[in-house]
Amino acid sequence: MAEKMKAARFYGVGEPLKIDKIPVPKLGPEDVLVEMKACGICGSDIHIVYEGVTPTAYTPITLGHEPSGVIFGIGSEVRDWKIGDRVTINPFLTCGKCINCLSGNSQICLSRRVVGIHTEGGLSEFLKVSAKNLISLPETIPFDQGGIIVDAVATPFHAITKRGFLRAGERVAIFGCGGLGIHGVQIAKVCGASQVIAVDAIDSVLERAKEVGADEVINPRKGDPIEKIKTLTEGTGVDLAVEFVGLKETIDQAVKCVRVGGRAVVVGLGPEGIVLPPPTQIVRSELSFLGSYGSTTLEIQNVVDLVANGKLDLSVSITERFPLDDVNQGLDHLYQKIGHPIRIVIEMG
Ligand SMILES: [Zn+2]
Ligand SMILES: [Zn+2]
């Protein structure tokens, strides 16, 4: 086996990633070495490389937290996996001992770290991970879809099912239909929403939302989305609004478009302060205002099962593919929103 591998490494904000040759990692007893086949790139990578709003634990570091591949090596204590198994990887490294891990909320583990942000990531030829982070990937799911499942699809799944607690028959508004929100539309349909209203400022993105199942689409540049949502719901508002943008304005709209007793869930990350309605309103309407972050291994498994059984179709989710050597071009296309990408995936051959 080669002793060195190619990896796309981040050295500093505003600098292109460098393709370095670095040593293939050595395995601990509970680790596996995964030969990478694909790794999605994400808005968080843009925050790291272009905007500097998400600091990495150190530099240089290999980015990439939507990895999938094939097991290449196994630590001495690993029992349930074998060389050649197709896998995707939960990028959250969690302690298993804190109050949140113990209560099934490992996505908010008190000592959470993320592969590709705090430890070496998947934009490389090999990735070392703990065997407990692996999820088996059936033959029917291609590696590129397997990679994006762990963040771009599992994150909205967690937001809608666990935080938003969507029940069959309810009405849902999705704010922002990019890489995460478009999957939010699909997941709301799969979970039995009676009406899914997609809100986005780009018409072609709304068209795409319609193609994957949105019942109604609203462009906020062409009229007040709150009024439109109220009209579409006979004046009551939706049961659940999920916000994937992270802007003050869209969060405000999400809060204002839910019915009395409704839930507004925010997934979009943004630095701006937000203003909530006065307590007289929050209290009397029993508004639930919730943050939602990431997902658990169980939820990733749920999404894998939905895709494997044909209930969730990710065939249009990958907008462009690039080889590892062209990772900076992929990042640039995502940053500049060329072709309004849902997901851009780096393929490792
Ligand atoms: Zn991400
Ligand atoms: Zn923990």
Query: Which one is the CATH code of 4-151+295-347: 3.30.70.100, 3.90.180.10, 3.40.50.300, 3.40.50.1100?
Result: 3.90.180.10
Q: How far is CA 281 from CA 254, 256, 277, in A?
A: 15, 11, 6
The pLDDT of residue 1 is: 65
Ligand 1 center–CA 236 separation, angstroms:
34
Q: Is the pTM of this model over 0.85?
A: yes
Q: Which listed ligand is nearest to 116 at the C-alpha?
A: 1
What's the confidence (pLDDT) of residue 39?
98
Distance from C-alpha of 28 to C-alpha of 163, rounded to nearest angstrom: 35
Instruction: Locate the DSSP E strands across 203-279.
Output: 216-218, 238-243, 258-266
CA 48 to chain centroid: 15
Distance from Cα 44 to the centre of ligand 1, integer Å = 5
Distance 260 CA to ligand 1 centre (A): 32
pLDDT by residue for the chain (349 residues), tens only, comes to 679 999 999 999 999 999 999 999 999 999 999 999 999 999 999 999 999 888 999 999 999 999 999 999 999 999 999 999 999 999 999 999 999 999 999 999 999 999 999 999 999 999 999 999 999 999 999 999 999 999 999 999 999 999 999 999 999 999 999 999 999 999 999 999 999 999 999 999 999 999 999 999 999 999 999 999 999 999 999 999 999 999 999 999 999 999 999 999 999 998 899 999 999 999 999 999 999 999 999 999 999 999 999 999 999 999 999 999 999 999 999 999 998 899 999 999 7
Pick the CATH number of 165-291 from 3.90.1150.10, 3.40.50.1820, 3.40.50.720, 3.30.70.120: 3.40.50.720
- The CA 294 to ligand 1 mean position distance, Å, reads 8
> Distance between CA 291 and CA 268 in Å, rounded?
9
Q: How far is the CA of 102 from the centre of ligand 2 (A)?
A: 7
Cβ atoms of residues 93 and 113 within 8 Å: yes
Q: Where are the domains of the chain?
A: 4-151+295-347, 165-291
Beta bridge partners, 23, equal: 4
Distance 154 CA to ligand 2 centre (A): 19
State residue 305 phi and psi, 5-degree precision.
Answer: -65, -40
